[in-house]
Amino acid sequence: MSKESFEHYRFTADPGQDPIRIDIFIMHRIEKVSRNKVQSHIKQGHVLVNGETVKANHKVKANDIITIELTEPPREFEIIAENIPLNIVYEDDDILVINKNAGMVVHPGYGNYTGTMVNALSYHFQLPDNPEGDPRPGLVHRIDKNTSGLLVVAKNETAMTHLAKQFYDHTVERKYIALVWGNVEANEGCIHSFIGRDSKDRKKFKSYEEEEQGREAITHYKVLERFAYVTLLECRLETGRTHQIRVHMKSIGHPIFQDETYDGNRLLKGPPHSKYKQYIQNCFKIIERQALHAQTLGFEHPSSGQIINFDSPLPIDMATVIEKWRNYIQPFKERFKDIFENK
């Protein structure tokens, strides 16, 4: 690195990485960046692969080291310790398991510098730095701001390395409960696609069939209960991409109930009469975020090697809406007999 440049990002391609264009590789790893901007940096020689400048059509291969160097030092987030209560369901010398409330951002980022779970953790604990120096001490995974449920946090570097490998190897058990629009016909299924940024809206993600358009994403789902117009699902993550369950459910025509980003916050299924519309509005007032909860988390303890599992009860807003649907559809079960017998 020259004296006039500063390393802003460093990525190491996965051992199983198939050849992929450098500009696409970078877009999948940096949020809120356009392809034109990435290609401009490449053209100006700011992007290096294994220490050498490359062209935009260069193919990244397994274990390549990609760095982005600019003439200005990178802006670092200052993590402000804040005395924010946390719902800690388990703690020992190596790990914390936290039941996150919906509405709390997990770590600082653009537009969310304070009030995050990491700000709270920094007040209560001394946590290891993230290996890449980003503002996520102790974190090996995350869940969306408006998703509730369980996360594990590492309290030391050994635990962080051990847990990160389990997430990389897809050996961590992660089950979510989701209420989705429509009647999901199959009792169980698997969605396998590639998730990347939506070209029309960079704040969203989209499910693609081609590997070059995103990162591999696998979600297994199982029907728990049917309410004719909505379905209660258990979703098990094999991979952990940003917005994965939300994107996958949207891709099969069953967006998550009240998911504003992926079109679940409007009336999608049901009779057209005004009483039903009012019923849906009342449901939206009860749960003002996507109906998605990270219920189960299981992994190998970094020190003991034992498999430990945690379960989190449904938060009040989700439980209330589910019960409301259960009561609403009860008088119509005979009419929808074919649906309820599809179990």
- Among the listed residues 23, 64, 94, 144, the single catalytic one is 144
Residue 2 is predicted with a pLDDT of 42
Instruction: Say if CB 294 and CB 174 are below 8 A apart.
Output: yes
CA distances from 95 to 79, 141, 301 (A): 20, 13, 8
pTM of the predicted model over 0.85: no
The Cα–Cα gap between 200 and 57 comes to 23
What confidence score (pLDDT) does residue 40 get? 83
**Confidence at residue 3, expressed as pLDDT on a 0 to 100 scale:** 40
| Fold of the domain spanning 6-70 | 3.10.290
- pLDDT by 10s per residue, the chain, length 343: 444 555 567 778 887 788 899 988 888 777 656 777 788 888 888 888 988 888 888 999 988 888 887 655 445 556 777 888 999 999 999 999 999 999 988 877 656 667 888 888 888 887 776 544 455 677 889 999 999 999 999 998 899 899 999 998 999 999 999 999 999 999 999 999 999 888 777 778 999 998 888 889 999 999 999 999 999 999 999 998 989 999 999 999 999 999 999 999 999 998 888 899 999 999 999 999 999 999 999 999 999 999 999 999 999 999 999 999 999 998 877 777 777 666 5
3 state SS of 311: strand
- Is the CATH number of domain 173-340 3.30.2350.10? yes
- The whole-angstrom separation of Cα 257 and Cα 270 is 13
The pLDDT value given to residue 96: 95
Active site residue 169: no
Strand, helix or coil for residue 153: strand
Quick check: helix, strand or coil at residue 277? helix
**Would the CATH topology of 88-168 be identical to that of 173-340?**
yes
Q: Where are the domains of the chain?
A: 6-70, 88-168, 173-340
Q: Environment class of residue 314 by beta-carbon count within 10 Å: exposed (0-12), middle (13-18) or buried (19+)? A: middle
Question: Which ranges constitute the DSSP H helices of 272-335?
Answer: 274-286, 316-329
Topology at the third CATH level for domain 88-168: Pseudouridine synthase (3.30.2350)
**Which single residue is written with the structure tokens 């429509």?**
182
Let me know: does 211 contact 312? Beta carbons within 8 Å. no
| Euclidean distance between the first and the last CA atom of the chain, given in angstroms as a whole number | 61
Q: Cα–Cα distance between 31 and 232 in angstroms, integer?
A: 31
User: Which of 136, 124, 131, 32 is closest to 79 using CA atoms?
Assistant: 136
